[in-house]
Structure 1
Amino acid sequence: MGAFQKPYIPPVIKSENINTLVSHVHSSLYTEPKELNKGTTLIVGGGNSGSQIAVELSKDREVVLAISHKLKFLPLEIFRKSIFHWLEKLQLLYAGTDTIRGRIFQKRNDPIFGKELKQAIKSKDVKVRPRVTEVAGKKVTFSDGSSLEVNQIIWATGFVPAYEMIHIDGAIDKKGKPIHNRGISPIDGLYYIGLPWQHSRGSALVCGVGRDAMFLTDIILNYRNLDSKTSI
């Protein structure tokens, strides 16, 4: 359950040139600035975690943010109410994968919520570079051919699925993801809850998992009732 399972770091670090003076930390393990190496810090990844860490660290050091797509910003509040209030009210969080809106949202990168990073970039407290292609010791090379020496790298590069605990033929596809339709596995009696985009953008969020739970509850209860009648 949930979207945050195995931290992912892209295979761009040259292991034969690992420099002990450079610290590599995944964003999921980041706690506070004083735990990091001092000096120039590179944050890899253009999601909300990376943007929030970049803003915090920019207060006491040089910060560079490497991204692979154009950043899009949304306010945290609209008319003094959380943007998630409006997303929920407009049912945008619950557009299913079988709808046009749902398919469009799946293809888009998540927006950055809040204006802090946008302001930090404008004031040049956070500098932006393109995608990282190679890390060799302290030297980082970007997709435009430019390079930079850093003392600290924070990998805000997300997570990958981890379902190795499921040893059932036909349950997992070649990419390591569960085979299912709205949480219903083709394996008799196997169900999932909390998967990213199990049915909608909200499926792996606290605000949306309940809808999938209700759907599966009805399916499971009906299945049990049918099974009990068949056995009789």
Structure 2
Amino acid sequence: MSPTQVSPGTHIPVLVIGGGQAGLSVSHHLGAAGVDHLVVEKQTAVHAWADTRWDSFTLVTPNWHCRLPGYHYEGPDPDGFMTRDQVVEWLHGWLETFDPPLVEHTAATRLRRTGTGFEVTLAGPVGERTVTADEVVVATGGYPIPVIPPYASFLDPAVVQLHSEQYRNPDQLAEGAVLVVGSGQSGAQIAEDLHLAGRRVHLAVGNAPRVARFYRGRDCMTWLADMGLYDTPAQQYPGGKAAQEKTNHYVTGRDGGRDVDLRRFAAEGMRLYGTLTSGRDSELRFAPTLTDALDSADRVYNSICADIDRHIDAHGIDAPPPSRYSPVWAPETDPTSLDLAAEGITTIIWAIGYRPDYRWIEASSFDGAGHPMQTRGATEVPGLSFVGLPWMHTWGSGRFLGIDRDAKYLADGIIARHHASREERAS
């Protein structure tokens, strides 16, 4: 289907909503099978990588993890970590290998089930139009809405507040100290970026675990891939649902890759706190959780190293000797308050994640928290599926390493149903 033919009332056999790498991977497989479909994207195909990552951003997974349909990383540094701009260039290279039926700057604002399929309202430069579809694949990302706590509006208006997706570099911020809230991958790396630039940084530490960048001669994520962790179905994953709901481990690919050690940052002058619980004007309150958070992160770090040790021993692999992380700093007490004005803090960066927003979908396919109820992307609503979600099938889901597998699984089901329907109509 030509995107220029999408007028009000158009019927689309398969509509893919979201033109990021997940939605376009489904399109790649559908196109190869000759299935008529359309992809709509509310911005541009690679905008999330180009527009919502900071300047010094790098992948935290090795380049060899970068695999999309018919297109794998083939550069000179498979064990390195692409920068933001390199990822954008790599994705553009992938898009040049096929011709997806993509309409950009067009958002799906309403999706409802009909007796024979779906009715979808699209809004774009040419105005609003309603189309119909037999099947819909939602590839809008797992968590599109940045989380900002409700008490943020009660803080001193002189302090500038940004979400992590708005942060670009230290020079963007006003002079003065910076409070980063959240120690997941984004928060920890942004705090490091500011720290390396010589800014005075305060960091509210959450419950994110950490992992060694390199261990016993290889990248830890390469070891974990060899151990099958990225291929283990969610139902069989050690730790079950609790493990899947944890924040991703913090580490960095910057400067060739290294650990992110919050204790070392603290020894160098960064101020650490526990979970931020409330605030008003210039006064912030924290739970006394810092010591436990740092200890827990280190336990996970050492536990992963121990798992790798067992893998090495079980397979008789020749590798450098094992080691364990020993703390280089510990808090004397857990701080429970902070005065923004007294500390000269002029900027707060919220790095506490995102939340789902599927209010535009009128279908009974969500749980009480607003997450899709799906099995490998398929829902109980006939013809409605999702792709690109974390833990959709494995730990690799939502990452470059697992996108092609997830997309192909969904596409294969759609292709089979499409051919069966065509044969039924022909008989």
Q: With structure 1 as the length reference, what TM-score do the two structures score? A: 0.86
Counterpart for residue 392 of structure 2: 198
Counterpart for residue 177 of structure 1: 371
Distance 1:100 1:75, change over 3 A: closer
Distance 1:184 1:72, change over 3 A: closer
1:148 and 2:292 are equivalent in the alignment: no
Bigger Rg, which one: 2
Deviations 1:133-182 (A, max 9, x none): 1222332221244233232111011111122332x331333322222211
Q: 1:68 aligns with which of 202, 206, 214?
A: 206
Q: How does 1:17-32 map to 2 (within 5 A)?
A: 17-32=154-169
Deviations 1:200-227 (A, max 9, x none): 1211111111111122122222323443
* CA RMSD, Structure 1 to Structure 2 (Å): 2.3
Identity %: 28
Distance 1:102 1:93 in 2: 14
Distance 1:107 1:20, change over 3 A: closer
Indicate the larger mover: 221-230 or 105-114: 221-230
Distance 1:195 1:201 in 2: 10
Distance 2:199 2:282 in 1: 17
Whether the aligned pair in 2 keeps the contact of 1:182 and 1:198 (CA below 8 Å) is yes
Distance 1:173 1:74 in 2: 31
Distance 2:216 2:149 in 1: 40
Distance 1:118 1:143, change over 3 A: closer
Indicate the larger mover: 30-39 or 96-105: 96-105
Q: 2:408 aligns with which of 203, 214, 217?
A: 214
Indicate the larger mover: 195-204 or 218-227: 218-227
Whether the aligned pair in 1 keeps the contact of 2:212 and 2:259 (CA below 8 Å) is yes
Distance 2:250 2:360 in 1: 33
* Larger RCO, structure (CA 8 Å, separation 6 or more): 1
Q: 2:243 aligns with which of 93, 105, 111?
A: 105
Counterpart for residue 186 of structure 2: 49
Counterpart for residue 227 of structure 1: 421
Deviations 1:41-64 (A, max 9, x none): 111111011111111212422211
Counterpart for residue 9 of structure 1: 148
User: Shift in Å at residue 3 of structure 1?
Assistant: 3.5
Amino acid at match of 1:11: P
Q: With structure 2 as the length reference, what TM-score do the two structures score? A: 0.49
Q: Partner of 1:221: helix, strand, or coil?
A: helix
Counterpart for residue 39 of structure 1: 176
Distance 1:12 1:72 in 2: 26
Q: Partner of 1:58: helix, strand, or coil?
A: helix
Distance 1:172 1:29 in 2: 29
Distance 1:162 1:11 in 2: 17
User: Shift in Å at residue 79 of structure 1?
Assistant: 4.8
Q: What count of residue pairs does the alignment treat as equivalent? A: 228
Counterpart for residue 358 of structure 2: 163
Whether the aligned pair in 2 keeps the contact of 1:67 and 1:129 (CA below 8 Å) is yes
In the alignment, structure 2 segments of 5+ residues that lack a partner are: 1-138, 252-257, 289-335
1:186 and 2:380 are equivalent in the alignment: yes
